[in-house]
Each structure stands twice: as structure tokens, then as C-alpha cells.
Amino acid sequence: RLDAWKGYEVFIRAMAQVRDAVPQVRGIVVGEVAAENPGYLDVLTSLRNELSLADRVEFSGFRMDIPVVMSALDILVLASISPEPFGRVLIEAMAAGKAVVAADAGAAREIIEDGVQGLLVPPGDAGAMARAIIHLLTHRDAATLMGQSGQNRVRERFSTQQYSDGVQSVYR
């Protein structure tokens, strides 16, 4: 879902900096525009074009094939500028073995151990986000280790069994 609080503008600004350090970089923004803000995609497209990123950042719209999308990624970025209530996409990316970059707000800090499964950055800080993305793209071994650690963390803390056990304990 494309909502302003998800920080897509921060991500696009970060990508302008990443492009300068990693010229082959490509980014994909997945999600449909929220019904209450139909012009938001135009805002994002204008920013992308203003920063000369039309060939670097793609808007895919709504996708049903998230496992396919995840498999194509090197890393996942969650740029929320307001605290993320849970950030299921982080769990999905970690389960897929992807290192993540996420804004350090809300549940992200409970899901990710900074420097272990991914990198946490201050919300709204495009420069810090760009540095984190560049680090993971230029230190592939570290990104691979973070992805493996993420898979382990999902198995240990976010499995279906863990969820079921947690709900049952609430009822008990």
C-alpha cells in the first residue's frame, strides 16, 4: 500500500545517493495507491523524475506474487516515517533470507537486531538510509550473513507455531 507515512519519498531520495555509489542499482516500489490519496503516485513519480531516477526506480503496483518479488531482491528497505505497527514485510523478507534496511521506529526494532539481521536507520533520514543500502550492496558477504541470521530469527521468534502458542497463552 502506497501511503505517505510509509516513507517512499525518503526511499526515492536515498536511491539518488545510492545510484552515485552503486551505478547499477535498481529499486522497486511495490504497492497500490491508497484510495484516500489517489494523487500520491503522481507525487512519487514526479520526485523520481526530478531526481533522474526513471530508469532506476520502478513502481510495480499491487502484486500477488510476493515470493517472486522477494527472490529478485538483494535487500529489502522499509522506510516508514511513522512507527510501523508490525512490519510483516520485514518478516517475509527475513524468511526469504534477505538482509533488511528499516527505519528504527515501532516494531522494526523488535524484529531486527541492528547489524545482525539488517540495519536500522533514523526515520526520515535519506542519507542514513542511503549509507545503509550502499553498505549492504557493497558488502555482499555481510548482507548474506544478515539474511541467514534473519531466516534463523524468523524460525525462532516468528513461526506459525510461535504465533499459535502466543495466542493460546493469551486465552489461558
Q: Is the pLDDT of residue 163 over 80?
A: no
- Of the candidates 135, 134, 123, the one whose C-alpha atom is nearest the C-alpha of residue 83 is 123
Quick check: 162 pLDDT over 90? no
CA distance 166 to 59: 37
CB-based contact 120:103 (threshold 8 Å) = yes
Q: What is the mean predicted confidence (pLDDT) over 103-126?
A: 96
Cα distances from 106 to residues 71, 88, 110, 155, 165, in angstroms, run 26, 12, 8, 21, 23
pLDDT of residue 19: 97
Tell me how far apart the alpha carbons of residues 126 and 14 are, in angstroms, rounded to a whole number.
5
Looking at residue 95, its pLDDT comes to 95
Let me know: does 103 contact 84? Beta carbons within 8 Å: yes
Q: What is the mean pLDDT of residues 70-91?
A: 94
Residue 73 confidence (pLDDT) above 90: yes
Q: Which three cell numbers stand for residue 56?
A: 532506476
Kindly give, in sequence order, each residue whose CB lies less than 8 Å from that of residue 168, ignoring residues fewer than 6 positions away. none
pLDDT score at 87: 85
d(CA 29, CA 53): 13
pLDDT value for 154: 95
Tell me: pLDDT of 133 over 80: yes
Q: Who's near 153: CB < 8 A, 6+ residues apart?
A: 94, 111, 113, 116, 117
pLDDT band per the 50, 70, 90 thresholds, residue 89: very high
Q: What's the pLDDT score for residue 166?
A: 80
Please state the length of the chain: 172
